[in-house]
Structure 1
Amino acid sequence: MASSPTGADGPEREVLDAEDARYRAMLAADTAALGALLDEQLTYTHSSGTRDTRESLLRKIADGALVYREIAHPVDQVAIVGDTAVVAGKMIGSVVLDGAPLQLDNSTLSVWVRQQGTWRLLGFQPTPLGARKPE
């Protein structure tokens, strides 16, 4: 679950809840739930530098090419301006990418937009804090 540096309420709580739901869906490989949280114009960058669209990310998860095994995602800051939210935090965990297990230790930036009252992920950018290495 996302942990906020302060007691969150209102729009900040909504964004943190959306972050939690996104990570739960990724761990469960629930592409229907995940797809509902992703903006049609999503740019999802991986710590390797490769990028996915909404469609290609969902396909990788559905096909098992990308399997999230465990994830912690502490949140350092949430900034909301109008209908845009930027979440700064970390993503620590393990994944299997094309059959190869990897450990992740990333600083992350997530950009959420509110459309018709619903927060959707528009952009994700991780920055490795250490060298990526096989398990």
Structure 2
Amino acid sequence: MTDDTLTTAEVESRIRTLEDERYAAVIARDIDRFIELAHPDLVYTHSNAEIDTLDSYVGKLRSGHYLYHRIDHPVSRIVVSGDTAVVVGEMHADLTAGGVRKQLANRALAVWVREGDGWLLLAYQPTVIPESDR
């Protein structure tokens, strides 16, 4: 069965698995796996509003600019429309960015698109959760 014949529930399950895999890849520094999961036109926005392409983000991963120590990413909703899946959730992480240890608490939106028989991460957008809402 290919992804284009799956039910919405099956697509949602597949997307949850892919989300787990992409976060696990950056924690493990498995950059090749992250690249396999990402669309070539990836738009990766950070919570400080910096924007990376696939190439620039991968460069930062390879150089050690971003070192992820822990990431929790609860998913509250996945919306599937045609060949697009939007993941709504949160991303809580301990990481080192540019040599500075940080803790993040973000709401997050990830966009996956169907490419052939699979799905690729096209865009990611986190937003800082205010202290009063944590």
The superposition leaves residues 24-68 of structure 1 with CA deviations (integer Å, 9 ceiling, x where unpaired) of 001011110000000011000000110000011111011101111
Q: Which residue of 2 aligns with 1:105?
A: 105
Q: 1:9 Cα deviation (Å)?
A: 4.0
- Secondary structure of the equivalent of 1:49? coil
Unaligned regions of 5+ residues in structure 1, if any? Answer: 1-7
| 3-state SS of paired residue (2:20) | helix
Runs (5+) with no aligned partner, structure 2: 1-7
- Report the aligned-residue RMSD: 1.2
Matched, 1:40 2:40: yes
Deviates more, 1:9-18 or 1:45-54: 9-18
Partner SS, residue 48 of structure 1: coil
TM-score by structure 2 length?
Answer: 0.90
Distance, in Å, in 2 between the alignment partners of 1:45 and 1:29 is 19
Match of 1:75 in 2: 75
Give the aligned partner of residue 66 of structure 1: 66
Deviation at 1:14, TM superposition (A): 0.7
User: Which residue does the alignment assign to 1:53?
Assistant: 53
Tell me, in whole angstroms, the C-alpha distance in 2 between the residues paired with 1:130 and 1:99. 24
In the alignment, the residues of structure 1 paired with residue 58 and residue 120 of structure 2 have an alpha-carbon distance, to the nearest angstrom, of: 15
Is 2:93 aligned against 1:90?
A: no
State the TM-score, normalizing by the size of structure 1: 0.89
Deviations 1:82-106 (A, max 9, x none): 1100000000011101100111000
Structure with the bigger percentage of helix? 2
Residue 107 (structure 1) shift: 0.1
Per the alignment, in what secondary structure is the counterpart of residue 124 of structure 1? strand
- The yes-or-no answer on 1:123 pairing with 2:123 is yes
Distance in 2 separating the partners of 1:119 and 1:66: 24
